[in-house]
Structure 1
Amino acid sequence: MQGVRPITLAVREGWPIHALIHRSGGALSRWALELLSAVETLQVAMADELLEELAEKETELIAVVGQRPDDLARVGGDLVVVFDRPTSPGNLGTLIRSADAFGASGMIVTGHAADIYDPKAVRASTGSLFTLPVIRADRTPSGLPGRVVGLDEEGTVELAELDLTGPTTLVVGNETHGMSAAWRAACDVVAYIPIGGGASSLNAAAAGTVALYETARQRKSHRPH
């Protein structure tokens, strides 16, 4: 991975840093020099053009970071986001970023899906992948918190009419086909987000972000002053 914020967060949160690869030509920034001094790991100098090819853009340093286990206990908390079979790494990373920003305790990515460690997902999360517990699951896990709320344009109740202040699991479906039959059956309620204009629907990550914002808004209003 690359970028000041993602690498800094990965180091701060204790992710295993297997190697730091930096350019061999030209001066390094103060941040890169301090990182190389502070992190005890394999350090490799690489020709600039090879580093750019590896990173798919111009950069001075990339990190090789180990993955964490897909343990449901890591998610915990009273607001969990499920992304069912996302195909776009960009959408996946964007929803991870939104879940982190709006107070989710973790995310579960289910089924045959984009990889949470895909470089595009990591970049789209802007580092939130390293602060929010995110795990992968082959099937519908048990023991999810509270009411399970699915999002679908043909839902039976408007999202804003639901009480989202208690323990909640928000389920966002695949970008093209929506939730799987198994997840739809697991939902206690399926909600829709009213939209206007010429749009036929919201992007999956956008819909999840709206639902997370509504949940955060309700919880903030519900807290005693």
Structure 2
Amino acid sequence: MADVDPTPREDLVGVGPWPGGEAAWPDDPRYDAELLAEGDRRNVPDEFRYWSVEAIVAELDTRRHPLHVAIENWAHDFNIGSVVRTANAFNVAGVHVVGRRRWNRRGAMVTDRYLHVEHHPDVEGFVERARGEGLAVVGVDNVPGSVPMEGFVWPERCVLVLGQESTGLTPPMQEACDVVVHITQYGSTRSINAGAAGAIAMHSWVLQHVPHPSP
């Protein structure tokens, strides 16, 4: 079944049923019959209109970037959903939840269905997985010894690790990181929202490793 999000005014987003009725439906297995019949109100790019979730994931898998994102989840951090949604926007190869399995999915707005999300009960298991994939482990936290993200050369194959906003990366995770970077701040607040920090870090990696068309 397609992941159609109900909305009080369906005319605000998406498209209606495929014009011409069932007789005019495209002969393509990527298309979802329910969406063709009822319309596609999902927040997806036009190229994926009427496609099934499975078909979209399969196509995204051909375009994934060699970047992974991890976040420690020891107190059900509500920022995880925001991080997942951003990870979808940048089409990362994988998202890793370290600690508690359950997390607040509301902020992800069903984007987790288009990603490969893995759970690791502890830091050791996560690090073993990262090393097995040949990923550098890059922490994001403003702790002593961290280096400014500005000017940092991101490894192409890496996993950026976010801690919880209140406590940051745990000592075991800091110890496991190859390097910890921080976002330079200029105001009176010591920390930056974990969801925002994740978006900044992912975009910083993209600027260095993903070709962009000239304006």
TM-score, normalization by structure 2: 0.62
Structure 1 residue 165 displacement after superposition: 4.7
Give the % identical residues. Answer: 26
Question: Which one-letter code corresponds to 1:8 in the other structure?
Answer: V
Contact 2:137 2:178 in 1 (8 A): yes
| 1:127 corresponds to 2:110 | yes
Give the drift of 1:97: 0.5
Q: Which residue in the other structure is 2:80 paired with?
A: 92
1:143 is matched with: 129
* Residues 1:77 and 1:152: Cα distance change in structure 2 (over 3 Å): same
> What is the identity, as a one-letter code, of the residue corresponding to 2:129?
G
Determine the C-alpha separation between the residues in 1 that align with 2:150 and 2:67. Answer: 16
Deviation at 1:89, TM superposition (A): 5.3
Residue type of the alignment partner of 1:205? G
Give the 3 Å change call, closer, same or farther, for CA 221–160 of structure 1 in structure 2.
Answer: farther
State yes or no: 1:180 paired with 2:176: no
1:53 aligns with none
In 1, the alpha carbon distance for the partners of 2:101 and 2:173 equals 15
Moved over 6 A (4+): 28-31
Task: State the alpha-carbon separation in 1 of the partners of residues 149 and 162 from structure 2.
Answer: 13
Relative to structure 1, the CA distance from residue 87 to residue 206 in structure 2 (aligned partners, 3 Å threshold; closer, same or farther) is farther
Q: Distance in 1 between matches of 2:173 and 2:191?
A: 20
CA contact (8 A) 2:165 2:191 kept: no
CA distance in 2, matches of 1:8, 1:86: 31
CA distance in 1, matches of 2:202, 2:154: 10
Paired with 1:209 and 1:138, the residues of 2 have a C-alpha distance of: 24
Whole-Å separation in 2 of the counterparts to 1:175 and 1:126: 21
Structure in which a larger fraction of residues adopt strand: 1
Matched residues in 2 for 1:222 and 1:200: separation?
A: 33
Contact 1:87–1:113, Cα closer than 8 Å, also in 2: no
Residues 165, 192 of structure 2: 8 Å contact kept: no
Output aligned runs, 1:49-128, within 5 Å: 78-85=66-73, 87-88=75-76, 90-112=78-100, 114-115=102-103, 118=104, 121=105, 123-128=106-111
CA contact 2:101–2:121 (8 Å) conserved in 1: no
Q: Which has the higher contact order (CA 8 A, sep 6+)?
A: 1
Matched, 1:7 2:3: yes
Q: Which blocks of at least 5 consecutive residues in structure 2 are unaligned?
A: 18-32, 36-63
- Structure 1: which 5+ runs fail to align? 1-5, 10-21, 23-27, 32-36, 40-75
Please report how far the alpha carbon of residue 113 of structure 1 lies from its aligned counterpart in structure 2 after TM superposition.
6.0
